[in-house]
Structure 1
């Protein structure tokens, strides 16, 4: 029999659990000119395939973590809970959709075509009827997804269970690409980064994606108190299914994991500068004098900078970390008389945690008025 104190304690724990589920985290990644920056996870599972949670839990998790959109991508061919969870392939979406609308989380109808290599596992987003993807021939399933207007991407291309020795691009993937049946590729999945996939995305004009592929409750896979799940940043004209679909087909995405960003320079550069704020007052630096510029980082990403070219007539720090949510001083010192004639001082930094390809970081230029 429980004592009065035990009853009060259990009530407190229960009540605290309810209250803690009502707060929403803010993911501080800024918008860029012309687009909203949407935080998305397009590869998650529920008990309707091989996940361990009910579909509404995925919506609650996404809302609490600050995501804008998710796609429940339960497997078509692999359903280990089918004896206990009897339903068609659209059911997980149908269960989750009312709560997603209530929570203002964009829920995308999706499914995972689950086959051996090649072609491996493929996610189809924006489908109309997942049941029609249940085909004996994998090409028939993929073509059906395309007929439904799907955006199709290759999941975890470097997954050791399917490519144990090396991550390869197969002839079958070339066939899919040439026939408009492959539009994107996961550069990062769960806890794995695939540099080969990043190279293919650049070479073959594939949209870059980064997803959790979560099966258990999200907090069992990631420490959300200090970090975040892997996510795809989508730069969309609107926070709608149509806006996200247009952005994915237009390749306006970035990979975001462990405070690292990967993408094209035309996306990462405006994202970097949208994160920062500093005054545009003339520095008026003379030889032997110094000026301090205070840079505010409004985002949640620590940007790690490394000087890639010496200044002309001045010195700048070789290494700088622009801490998330903090003000970082940048001191510039004149080292020759040339500085007094310079109208603008250009400082070139490589951003170590912003990647364009496996061997290249984003290079940014700070331009400060001097006169």
Structure 2
């Protein structure tokens, strides 16, 4: 296995890392994180060090190794203590600059379903017969605990429901966050619960197979991940951000989160580089400095302010749009919704850009 690991990292050095360009926001670094990952030490198909290499090549800053406690189908072949996968992954960070967080998945039927506990010191203490005891053991370690894939059809086939057991966990301080997206699934109900109950929003891959089996990077796809707004690039910096709900979720083309963070991301990604005014025409040149896409849709506005019906700002582009001020109008607002910046179910971020004639 040592030979396999060494050869993997020799191959890693020959590959190009994709540095996903996402802007920092004022006072914080934007870290790209995946807090739900499996290896062969539970029901995954990948060795832990490979998970580190995958994350490095995709430009992630941090991952959490969260192998199942109760479900380990490879145990006859790989018999090890809980948390051994984390130890192997942590060793691999000497070859690839990725932060690795120790975690476990508490794997129970519904209710309460599956939860991840991260920032653990000891995984084995969570191996309890009664699920309540497992959560108590996680809380005793000051773990950050979140509900995984709440809308998973295998456990909630008819509707995405919040059970009394979830209220029990929430009131006991054993639910700090919730997956708003898991893999390629987005759960609008979870987004609403996160807003209403002040839960940290998370998006994770829940990857079991090799990552490039699930996502086609050549076509610009990416794993579902969490953008964490941290004071510093460290495990403690990530813990602080999670506890204070400074996150948004990046899933497919959607970026999901609280309005203030989505607005800050947009404003730090888009730079207006030039404004040319000629009569009633105002030409605005802007640059997207990020790898993010923004989809704009015109909203209610003064009909004398004439501009695009819809517009897609593609990554790393410089483009010019024209706004016309008709019937002697001297100023006005360009109002639009950024439909893929999701602030609540079925609602994108509303934004206004003010224009003025000479």
Q: TM-score, normalised by structure 2?
A: 0.94
Which stretches in structure 1 are left out of the alignment for 5+ residues? Answer: 1-13
| Aligned-partner Cα distance in 2 for 1:241–1:92 | 18
Superposition RMSD on alpha carbons, in Å? 1.8
Matched with 1:216 is 209
For residues 355 and 90 of structure 1, what CA distance do their matches in structure 2 show?
A: 36
Structure 2 partner of 1:309: 300
The one-character-per-residue Cα deviations of 1:197-255 (angstroms, maximum 9, x if unpaired) are 11111111111111111111001111122210111111111110001001111111111
**Distance of 1:370 and 1:178 partners within structure 2:** 55
Q: For residues 293 and 280 of structure 1, do their structure 2 counterparts lie closer, same or farther at Cα, with a shift above 3 Å needed?
A: closer
Post-superposition Cα deviations, 1:277-335, rounded to whole Å, max 9, x if no partner, equal: 11365x5554xx21211111111122111111224743222211111111121101120
Q: CA deviation at 1:102?
A: 3.8
C-alpha spacing 1:123/1:111, structure 2 compared with 1 (3 Å): same
Matching residue of 2:334: 347
Partner residue of 2:165 out of 172, 179, 184? 172
Cα drift, residue 370 of structure 1:
4.3
CA contact (8 A) 1:309 1:347 kept: no
1:79 counterpart residue number: 72
Paired residues for 1:12-31 under 5 Å: 18=11, 21-31=14-24
In the aligned structure 2, how far is the partner of 1:37 from the partner of 1:369?
Answer: 34
The Cα offsets for residues 163-184 of structure 1, whole Å up to 9 and x where unpaired, read as: 1111110000001111111011
Partner of 1:6: none
Q: Which runs of 5+ in 2 are unaligned?
A: 1-6
1:295 and 2:286 correspond:
yes
- The 1:142/1:263 distance shift into structure 2, 3 A limit, reads same
How far apart, CA to CA, are the structure 2 residues paired with 1:357 and 1:101? 40
Quick check: 303-312 or 241-250, which moved more?
A: 303-312
User: Quick check: 1:38–1:233 contact (8 Å CA) kept in 2?
Assistant: yes
Aligned to 2:35: 42
Q: Which moved more, 1:190-199 or 1:50-59?
A: 190-199
Q: CA deviation at 1:359?
A: 2.1
Instruction: Give the counterpart of 2:138 among 125, 141, 145.
Output: 145
Structure possessing the higher radius of gyration over alpha carbons: 1
Say whether residues 1:333 and 2:339 are aligned partners.
no
How far did 1:42 drift? 0.4
TM-score (norm 1): 0.90
8 Å CA contact 1:21–1:64 kept in 2: the answer is no
Q: Provide the rounded CA distance (Å) in 2 between the counterparts of 1:366 and 1:215.
A: 44
Q: Where does residue 4 of structure 2 map in the other structure?
A: none
CA distance in 1, matches of 2:139, 2:94: 26
Q: Which residue of 1 aligns with 2:348?
A: 361
Q: How far 1:19 sits from its partner (Å)?
A: 6.6
Secondary structure of residue in 1 paired with 2:72 = coil
Distance, in Å, in 1 between the alignment partners of 2:273 and 2:289 is 14
1:157 aligns with 2:144: no
Counterpart of 2:167 in 1: which secondary structure? helix
Q: Secondary structure at the match of 2:239?
A: helix
Q: 2:274, 2:285 within 8 Å by CA — same for their partners in 1? A: no
Task: Determine the structure 2 residue equivalent to 1:33.
Answer: 26
Query: How far apart, CA to CA, are the structure 2 residues paired with 1:21 and 1:355?
Result: 38
